[in-house]
């Protein structure tokens, strides 16, 4: 067993910590602009949906005044699912070029896997094995359950459902993408972990990006100090990177699998964020509030109790 003072073991602790601190510092100085930009994109898109013809008709039509007034949400979800599949389709050439030893993708995939194999050390293996377990289906399901449960207990019902839909929908989407592309994993002889199923896109990379990304988006909307928000975002991003790289380090994925998972995950996360903001705006209109201006931050709070009837 390597002693704790072994340089490689120390690097396994120092490198993630240094990455987190560097990312936190970057977010710390640029946070105001990033916060406005992240939320503004989803809020402006949701405003366009609410002002669209389908939303106006659904809100005005007598038969659609109930839950059916949220019909535009299903349309956005469907379009987002198609867009996520399209993001995966953009990586079809990666899956095809993988079979060509002369392709750049083939060379990069094999070069990166060989590099990580040469870097294997008990300290790195312990760290990245823990990351891959935490970023797996069971680990992410636990994160979703705890986060959604905490939000529901705080009566932030829309936020809790947002995290649930983002995580569950992303898992189903990943299964669909794997079934479409049917990419074979790297040779098992070089792997130091067991893995089943197809390789592209990485379920760990895509799932952790979506789940932790949805938590980050909810955190952006909470009344927290900017220092706490930036630290949380940096920690979530560090976790996403560790989970993704762990799959390549352990030899069960190619680096292009990770890139595909992050790309499809980003599309799905953006879709669910727009649906979340659209829901808040439609709910506000149904409560009789005036239409919100583009970029308005609508809090996720339960409806005020009805006033008692006048005597």
CATH number at residue 125: 1.20.144
Phi, psi (deg, nearest 5) at residue 143: -60, -45
Give the range of the structural domain holding residue 256, as residue numbers without chain letter.
91-272
Give a three-class secondary structure readout of 51-99. CCHHHHHHHHCHHHCCHHHHHHHHHHHHHHHHHHHHHHHCCHHHHHHCC
Q: Looking at the domain assignment, is residue 231 inside a domain?
A: yes
Comparing 202-211, 253-262, 269-278, 289-298, the range with the smallest average pLDDT is 289-298
Using CB atoms within 10 Å of the CB of residue 117, give its burial: 0 to 12 exposed, 13 to 18 middle, 19+ buried.
middle
Q: What is the largest CA-CA distance in the chain?
A: 84
Residue 179 inside a domain? The answer is yes
Would residue 176 count as lying in a domain? yes
| Distant-in-sequence, close-in-space partners of 29: CB < 8 Å, separation ≥ 6 | none
For residue 288, name the pLDDT band (cuts at 50, 70, 90): low
pLDDT for res 50: 46
Among the listed residues 265, 256, 85, the one whose alpha carbon sits nearest the alpha carbon of residue 180: 85
- Structure confidence at residue 179 (pLDDT): 85
pTM for this model (two decimals): 0.81
Q: Residue 142 in contact with residue 149, Cβ under 8 Å?
A: no
Q: What is the pLDDT of residue 149?
A: 94
Higher pLDDT, 120 or 7: 120
With tokens 């990351």, the residue in question is: 131
Measured between alpha carbons, how far is 168 from 147 in angstroms, rounded to an integer? Answer: 13
pLDDT of residue 83: 64
Cα(146)–Cα(295) distance, integer angstroms: 29
Q: Is residue 240, in this structure, part of any structural domain at all? A: yes
The overall average pLDDT reported for the chain is 77
Q: Is 234 exposed, middle or buried (0-12, 13-18, 19+ CB in 10 A)?
A: buried
Distance CA 88, CA 200 (A): 9
CB atoms within 10 A of CB 110: 15
The answer to whether residue 132 sits within a structural domain is yes
- Residue 195 domain-assigned? yes
Angle at CA 248, nearest 5°, toward 129 and 200?
115
Examine residue 127 and state whether it is found in any structural domain, yes or no.
Answer: yes
State how far the Cα of 258 lies from the Cα of 15, in Å rounded to an integer: 20
Q: How many structural domains are present in the chain? A: 1
**21 domain residue, yes or no:** no
Q: Is the pLDDT of residue 43 over 90?
A: no
- What pLDDT does residue 64 have? 44
The token pair that represents 290 in the structure block: 């005036």
Asked whether 151 and 163 are in contact (CB, 8 A), the reply is yes
What pLDDT sits at residue 201? 86
Say how far apart CA 52 and CA 200 lie, in whole Å.
36
Residue 237: what pLDDT?
A: 95
Whether residue 206 contacts residue 266, with contact meaning beta carbons closer than 8 Å, is answered with no
Report CA 79 to chain centroid distance, whole Å. Answer: 17
């Amino acid at each position: 067993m390597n002693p704790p003072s072994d340089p490689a073991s120390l690097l396994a602790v120092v490198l993630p910590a240094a990455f987190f601190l560097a990312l936190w510092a970057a977010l710390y100085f640029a946070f105001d602009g990033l916060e406005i930009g992240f939320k503004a994109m989803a809020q402006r898109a949701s405003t366009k949906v609410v002002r669209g013809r389908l939303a106006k008709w659904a809100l005005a039509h007598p038969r659609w005044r109930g839950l059916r007034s949220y019909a535009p949400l299903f349309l956005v979800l469907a379009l987002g699912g198609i867009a996520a599949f399209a993001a995966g389709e953009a990586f079809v050439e990666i899956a095809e070029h993988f079979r060509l030893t002369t392709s750049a993708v083939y060379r990069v995939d094999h070069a990166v896997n060989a590099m990580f194999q040469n870097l294997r050390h008990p300290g790195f293996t312990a760290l990245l094995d823990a990351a891959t377990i935490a970023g797996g289906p069971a680990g992410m399901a636990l994160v979703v359950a705890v986060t959604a449960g905490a939000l529901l207990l705080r009566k932030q019902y829309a936020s809790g459902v947002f995290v649930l839909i983002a995580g569950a929908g992303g898992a189903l989407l990943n299964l669909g993408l794997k079934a479409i592309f049917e990419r074979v994993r790297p040779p098992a002889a070089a792997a130091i972990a067991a893995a089943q199923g197809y390789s592209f896109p990485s379920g760990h990379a895509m799932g952790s990006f979506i789940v932790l990304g949805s938590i980050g988006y909810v955190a952006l909307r909470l009344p927290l100090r900017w220092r706490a928000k930036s630290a949380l975002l940096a920690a979530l991003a560090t976790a996403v990177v560790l989970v993704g790289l762990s799959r390549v380090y352990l030899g069960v994925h190619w680096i292009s699998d990770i890139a595909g998972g992050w790309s499809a995950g980003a599309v799905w996360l953006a879709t669910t964020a727009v649906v979340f903001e659209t829901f808040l705006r439609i709910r506000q209109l149904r409560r009789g509030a005036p239409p919100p201006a583009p970029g308005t931050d609508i809090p996720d709070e339960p409806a005020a109790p009805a006033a008692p009837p006048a005597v």
